[in-house]
Structure 1
Amino acid sequence: MDIKTIGVEDWLNVWEKSATYDIAQSTIASMTMGEILQLDGQAGATFYDRLNQEKMNYGWIEGSPEFKAEVAKLYRTEIDPDCILQTNGTTGANLMALMQLVEPGDHVIAEYPTYQPLYEIPRTLGAEVEYWHLREENGWNPSIDELKELVRPDTKLICINNASNPLGAVLDRETLEQIVEIAQSVGAYVLSDEVYLPLENTENFWSMADLYDRAVVTNSISKTYSVPGARIGWTVSNRELADKFRVYRDYTMICCGEFNDALATYILQNREAVLERNREIVFRNMGLFGGFCGRDSGIGPAQRAKTTIWN
């Protein structure tokens, strides 16, 4: 397989641990285990009560029932537990979905710029990939008219990232429904990477899982939930796709392990406390950034107006 280097990862692999100040993290201030154990108000007793009963064997192959129940609560519609599969972060979720969905010669449309694997993996698999551009003059949102021009009768997959990495744009329900209508017209799947849950107006955020049966939604506890060290993500899809993904999982990961499953379940059980903590961090930093922009930073009013903080 001839696949391109992910530029940002290549750079981070060199500098991430040696930098004096790291202001480029994609995670909101990763929590220490000490912080994590304070989330339940019982010094982590609810976490250890479960963990102390578990043998450190392989664990639940596709995620424990408790984990799946917490993931299902993130969506508006009722999600069948069999349609939720635990993965090695969102990276593993995206890889699993793309490896199963994309074949040589397929036509794939991908938002651009976006997380590089969402277009490079399909290209490496032999697909014809066309970019659906996020444009500054459109507030860094994609144009539905452009998508209508890109889509073809043989379009297999549309890849989106909501909220956008790296631009931060959040697709509202109306836009998502328009994407669904276009995808339905040609029978295309939609892969929606939703790892960056917005902290502003979170209650108005809609998942593609709630809008389209042929959607594959990927997510994890790495970004908005501040625990990338657990390496736990998931896919939500229809049952037919989930069964296909199960085959791929057996070849690549087996399971994520007892400890990581228990930790991810605990984080999701206490997600409101995590979100409250992270909103305080992000909104405080937005104020600091605004002050910086108002001084001799070289960032003018036009640039400040375009700045979006989404994680």
Structure 2
Amino acid sequence: MMGNAPGWGSGDRGREFRGTGSALSIAKEAYPGSLAAPGGERYDPAGSVLDPTPGAVPDPAPEPTPLEPPPPMTPFVPFEMERWQSTYEHRVRFNLSESGVHPLSTRELLAMAGEEGETVAGELWDLRHGYGQSNGSDLLRERIAALYSQADPDSVLVTVGGAEANFVTLWRLLEEGRDWAAILPTYMQIPGMVRNLGGTLHPVHLREEEGWQPDPDDVGKAFEAGARALLITNPGNPTGIRLDPERRTAIAAHAERHGAWIVADEVYSGAEADGVTTPSFHGTASRVVVTQSLSKAYGLPGLRVGWAMSTPEMAADLWARTDYTTITPSTLSDRLAAVALEPTVREQILARTRGIIAANRERMAEWVAEQDDRFSYHPPDAGAIAFLRYHGDTPSAEVAERLRVEESVLVVPGSQFGVEGTLRVGFGPPRDELDAGLERVAALFDRLDPVGVA
């Protein structure tokens, strides 16, 4: 664009109008007819002077409409696990609080992509860090849609991590009602947001004695009690357990019967130890939003790329809400995410993830067996997490704090999931770090007496 010639500039993601004259005249040129005023008034495009049409009588100024008083604010509910991790994960020697595997480097990712990786590596030096396509590039959305049965790229919204996908989904579904059901324990972002926004949470508890499986009839009862949406994480967090197929079918049927939404956080799909991908909730009922990200199964949490998959109409509704949050994913992250989801690259990434999980899952089982019945747990189906129940009376937050302070090891206390007497221990780090971290966990428990009092 040369000089001051009128036209569209590059600012504001291609929507900056460059014209001559005053701000009002510029707006008049940019948006014809948008500045009409009551009473026949109009704006002079040459100088923005209010110029009543001859003979017109301006309407009297309307009385101001009193605003509705805002609803009372509820006390803020912190996201305890994220506060714990964000505060300390880079301040300890051994971080066993994460549920994903050791992350990939950019070099490793592009090496997996072969010729495409070489091309992208060259592109990165000249990549302009402008605003990208704000719902995700066409290529990235096409590759995400290909992961689901009968899915369309227009049904995909790319977000800044799975957390944003969950957040804008909650925001949209609050229009359906403020009653939510959640299968607990779970990743506590959406339950916390429901409470923060004045909603009501209907808990549906997993049954530890049944291998951390829910009773679908409890879901039906929550819908009967008024819940308009169900949050489920499958495979689970913090348990790592997959939902039984028949229970999944029954839950979808309950949602369909009540016209309720299912919000399925499937971030651990692809991170299964046995290599069998967990079936998606997508397509099981007419009202489903699936959220995912590259953080856990792909070992790329730093890209901060997630997505929501639903219908084109719902994807558009969610997209409108990201205008208030992050606006657009990172251009660089979008490009690298598209590389990661190219089918042959994706296959290599998931093979790496599953290899790490299978090997370290076996090591975790050996370590638990070495602890003389100190711990019990259900071996996870997916994710690099072991949800350990320890035998003692020390509160889990105290155990976790002592591990952090005395042993420089970070784990997640079960109290942050609402399950006391447990710890979530991540086994995704490199093997030498995992072994050293577990050794320090054992050392702390050696200092606790049989009833858990130091």
TM-score w.r.t. length of structure 1:
0.91
* Counterpart residue number, 2:169: 97
How far 1:106 moved relative to its partner?
A: 2.5
* Counterpart residue number, 1:88: 160
SS in 2 for 1:251: coil
Which of 99, 117, 120 is 1:47 aligned to? 120
* Per-residue Cα deviation, 1:72-122 (whole angstroms, up to 9, x for no partner): 1211x2212111001010000000000111159632110111111121112
1:104/1:59 CA distance change after superposition, 3 Å: closer
SS in 2 for 1:126: coil
* Per-residue Cα deviation, 1:140-174 (whole angstroms, up to 9, x for no partner): 01111222222217431011001111011211432
* Counterpart residue number, 1:73: 146
* Counterpart residue number, 1:236: 309
Q: Which runs of 5+ in 2 are unaligned?
A: 1-72, 384-454
Give the RMSD, CA atoms, in angstroms: 2.1
Structure 2 CA distance for aligned equivalents of residues 4 and 83 of structure 1: 32
Structure 2 CA distance for aligned equivalents of residues 144 and 101 of structure 1: 22
Kindly name which structure, 1 or 2, has the bigger radius of gyration based on alpha carbons. Answer: 2
Higher relative contact order (CA 8 A, sep 6+): 1
Which of 193, 196, 205 is 1:121 aligned to? 193
1:24/1:154 CA distance change after superposition, 3 Å: closer
Does residue 209 (structure 1) correspond to residue 282 (structure 2)? The answer is yes
1:177/1:46 CA distance change after superposition, 3 Å: farther
How far 1:50 moved relative to its partner?
A: 5.2
Which of 350, 362, 374 is 1:287 aligned to? 362
Alignment length (residue pairs): 307
* Counterpart residue number, 1:275: 350
Contact between 2:303 and 2:333, CA under 8 Å: does it hold in 1? yes
Contact between 1:110 and 1:160, CA under 8 Å: does it hold in 2? yes
SS in 2 for 1:129: strand
> What pairs with 1:83-232 in structure 2 (closer than 5 Å)?
83-103=155-175, 106-152=178-224, 154-197=226-269, 198-232=271-305
1:172/1:68 CA distance change after superposition, 3 Å: farther
Higher helix share: 1
Contact between 1:63 and 1:86, CA under 8 Å: does it hold in 2? yes
* Per-residue Cα deviation, 1:202-222 (whole angstroms, up to 9, x for no partner): 545211113222101100101
Structure 2 CA distance for aligned equivalents of residues 204 and 252 of structure 1: 32
Taking only the aligned residue pairs, the percentage that are identical comes to 31
SS in 2 for 1:208: coil
TM-score w.r.t. length of structure 2:
0.64
Which of 110, 134, 140 is 1:61 aligned to? 134
